[in-house]
Copies of this chain bind each other. A is one copy, B any other.
Amino acid sequence: MLRHTVRRLSPTSCYLNPRVVEAEYAVRGLIPSRADEIKADLAAGRGRYLFDSLVYCNIGNPQSLGQMPLTFHRQVMALVDAPFLLGDAEIVARMPADAVARARGYLAEIGTGTGAYTESFGYRFARAAVAAYINDECRGVGPSVTVDDICLTDGASTGVKVLLQLLVGGASDAVMVPIPQYPLYTAQIALLGGTKVPYYLCEAEGWALQTPDLATAYERCVAESGATPRVLVCINPGNPTGNVLERSVMEDAVRFCHERGVLLLADEVYRENVYDARRQFVSFREVVLGMPAPYCTETMLVSLHSTSKGVIGECGRRGGYFCMTNLPRAMREQVLKLCSINLCANVNGQVMTALMCSPPREGDASYTLYRREYDGIFSGLKERAELLARELATVRGFSCQPVEGAMYAFPQITLPAAYAARNEELNSKEGRRLAVDTRWALELLESSGIVVVPGSGFGQERGTLHFRTTILPPLAQMKRMVRAIREFQEGIYRQYA
């Protein structure tokens, strides 16, 4: 006889982990979902829209917007995927010698089993390529990275998840995140049931990190929630802000982390995406190692990188790595266990990560083509970054900080008070709680086909409104986007101001 309560589920009510329900990820949230519906409508000839295609500016996904892959990287990957091609002299003769040699070299390391699980941290040869890349960058400052310090991941997202999981067991563990931030961080904190400690970037200073704010945020967290901050997240160059951190600020952040035993999680996936000639990317590892003891020997740092951004743009490959500096042995053992539960990162992402860290060099057969492709993509990104920030700043009610780096503009928008009031009315009529900037982004989408993400998805100072757009659409689409936003915003002012 059953003594428990039988619990039937209706199609509309069911038990769900409340942490999952709470988590939010605006980059693929309400606005992009509505965009997909409209896209399906357009394809089926349904509905009445004033446009016949969408411009997706919601996600940093360059190849979906026409950016071409780097040829050398794809040649090598294809040969590693299908090693029997190397047995065909005719095919080999039609490939550049360095791509063939590289593929043979990788295959010699992998052996016959190119479809096998790798070690939990990834192929040793790929980790060696990453280590060489990092050591090269640090130019002899501090001790060298070894393969044991590197873990290959399915994109940087997996690295974030592993590191946050390692240190966040519940509400008593806090994570300090910049606001605005890439919403993966707050989503993972919500999923882990951890405490979020925001520190606000200063918009008026080009979204600079002001280090006294770190201590203030830490103190407030301890006093108000009783939770202990375990991790400080720094995104450099910033997403969505585009800010590039200065060395002195980074040193302050390192001191802050060291004094409090906080692990510094450095999200450096946009390390190659610096467009402002007055700025230079410096890695947190280089900063830490360049400081005197005990900072250089004790500050716990994990640096993340990815094949998704930069110039390579291989998002779908899900390649990436994290590099551990000064992590205690007990912590490393748990990192290894977590990675072993995941078995390993996908092998194509691993190969792509190795290639990203060791592209053709001057003198190699593929170098000229590689250089041309790389420079072409980079200068296109730079041009659009400048154009977009410049143009958006001239839209009524907008102010836009320069896009020093990364792949986004994050303009502030002001809207007539009547627009906000109307949003309240619509919300109560529709029975939902859209933020004003979400309403704005939704109406922009529905009237013009432009897909952006509202600032509330990234976090913003109370009382301010923003949106994030990528700099990725080709020039023609970008011009359409700016024009559409301008007209939309003018319309709002005509109607509500």
Residues of A within 8 A of B (CB): 2-4, 6-21, 23, 25, 27-29, 36, 59, 61-69, 71, 74-75, 77-79, 81-82, 84-85, 88, 90-91, 94, 111-120, 154-155, 157, 165-170, 173, 184, 187-188, 191, 193, 215, 218-219, 222-223, 228, 230, 259-261, 298, 300, 308, 313-318, 328-331, 334, 337-338, 340-349
| With known contacts A20-B334, A334-B21, A346-B346, A115–B11 Cβ distance under 8 A | no
Complex CA distance for A308 and B347, rounded to whole angstroms? 12
B85 near A25 (CB under 8 angstroms)?
A: no
Which B residues lie within 8 Å of A328 (CB)?
9-14
A112 near B66 (CB under 8 angstroms)?
A: yes
Known: A18-B169, A63-B115. 11 other contacts (CB 8 A): A9-B328, A10-B328, A11-B329, A23-B338, A36-B119, A69-B114, A78-B82, A117-B308, A154-B154, A317-B346, A346-B346
Output the least CB separation between A107 and chain B (Å). 13
Instruction: Report the 9 A-B pairs with minimum CB-CB distance, sorted nearest first.
Output: A63-B113, A28-B340, A78-B82, A17-B169, A316-B347, A64-B116, A318-B346, A7-B261, A63-B116
Count of this chain's copies in the oligomeric assembly? 2
B4 near A115 (CB under 8 angstroms)?
A: no
> Would you give 13 A-B contacts (Cβ < 8 Å), ordered by A?
A8-B261, A12-B328, A14-B328, A15-B261, A28-B343, A63-B112, A63-B116, A64-B117, A71-B84, A75-B82, A78-B79, A116-B316, A165-B191
Complex CA distance for A222 and B63, rounded to whole angstroms? 51
Output the least CB separation between A245 and chain B (Å). 23
Complex CA distance for A288 and B71, rounded to whole angstroms? 48
Complex CA distance for A185 and B8, rounded to whole angstroms? 25
Which B residues lie within 8 Å of A117 (CB)?
59, 61, 64, 308, 315-316
Select A13's contact among B78, B113, B193, B330, beta carbons within 8 Å.
B330
A6 near B114 (CB under 8 angstroms)?
A: no
Which B residues lie within 8 Å of A259 (CB)?
2, 6
**Residue on B nearest A7 in the bound complex, by CB:** B261
Output the least CB separation between A333 and chain B (Å). 9
B334 near A6 (CB under 8 angstroms)?
A: no
A222 near B340 (CB under 8 angstroms)?
A: no
A346 near B154 (CB under 8 angstroms)?
A: yes
B215 near A2 (CB under 8 angstroms)?
A: yes
Output the least CB separation between A257 and chain B (Å). 11
Output the least CB separation between A395 and chain B (Å). 28
| With known contacts A260-B7, A341-B25, A17–B112 Cβ distance under 8 A | no
Which B residues lie within 8 Å of A4 (CB)?
218-219, 222, 260
Complex CA distance for A15 and B346, rounded to whole angstroms? 30
Complex CA distance for A330 and B14, rounded to whole angstroms? 7
B222 near A12 (CB under 8 angstroms)?
A: no
Which B residues lie within 8 Å of A315 (CB)?
115-117, 343
Output the least CB separation between A12 and chain B (Å). 6
Output the least CB separation between A175 and chain B (Å). 12
**Residue on B nearest A297 in the bound complex, by CB:** B11
| With known contacts A17-B169, A20-B166, A115–B313 Cβ distance under 8 A | yes
Which B residues lie within 8 Å of A329 (CB)?
11-12
A114 near B63 (CB under 8 angstroms)?
A: yes
Output the least CB separation between A431 and chain B (Å). 16
**Residue on B nearest A83 in the bound complex, by CB:** B74
Which B residues lie within 8 Å of A18 (CB)?
169
**Residue on B nearest A183 in the bound complex, by CB:** B341
Output the least CB separation between A115 and chain B (Å). 4
